[in-house]
Amino acid sequence: MKGLREPCDGERHARFDEGRLETALPRQPSTLLMRNFLDAVPKNLQAELYGKVRAILDAPDVETARLLLNRVVDEYGEKASKAVDILESAFDDITAVLALPERYRKRLRTTNGQERLNEEVRRRDRVIRIYPNRDSAFRLIGALLMEIDEKWQTGHKYFDMADYFTWRKEQEEQAKETTKVLKIS
């Protein structure tokens, strides 16, 4: 749908803060971070630093990711200062998903869902080709979103939120126990 796209600074991505799943704008998906990071890395260090940044993205928790980040900063701060600055500035964004259960991380860290939606819109656009007005294009997108919502409600789900709510309840109970221990001490 040519001419209907609005320019934007960032994408909407989920962010986890203090036990609540929230959205924040802009958030940088890991694929975009990696692209920007590797553009700033000298060619002779790209393969080496790619592996180190992948390790940060795949870290099991924020503490491990921060430890790996500090190693990269110490080792490559002078050799690839621009790339290290990009990595440091995006660290909180790319590690926000590490507070969630592991099964949700990849889907929230990447733009795969958004890309799939965009591809489906393009596929339907190739069939229709001509829109009498802007509202008709928005109706097409709205119908597609409703169709996806129906699929998620009736069977195939992108996220199984029941598992998330169980995990969140466990996290809240652990936080209460920790608070009780602190009050007794």
- 28 within domain boundaries: yes
Task: Look at the pTM and tell me if it is higher than 0.85.
Answer: no
- 24 within domain boundaries: yes
- 59 within domain boundaries: yes
pLDDT (tens digit per residue) in 69-116: 999 999 999 999 999 999 999 898 888 888 878 777 777 777 777 888
- 68 within domain boundaries: yes
- 176 within domain boundaries: no
Structural domain for 17, as ranges: 1-110
pLDDT (tens digit per residue) in 18-64: 444 444 333 566 777 888 888 999 999 999 999 999 999 888 889 99
Question: Cα angle vertex 102, ends 116, 96, to 5°?
Answer: 80
- 160 within domain boundaries: no
- 149 within domain boundaries: no
pLDDT for 183 beyond 90: no
32 vs 12, residue with greater confidence: 32
Question: Closest Cα to residue 107, out of 95, 94, 97, 96?
Answer: 97
- 8 within domain boundaries: yes
Torsion angle, alpha carbons of 156, 158, 164, 166, to 10: 10
How many separate domains does the chain show?
1
The pLDDT assigned to 182 comes to 57
In order of 45, 82, 92, 158, the CA distances from 39 in angstroms are 11, 10, 20, 32
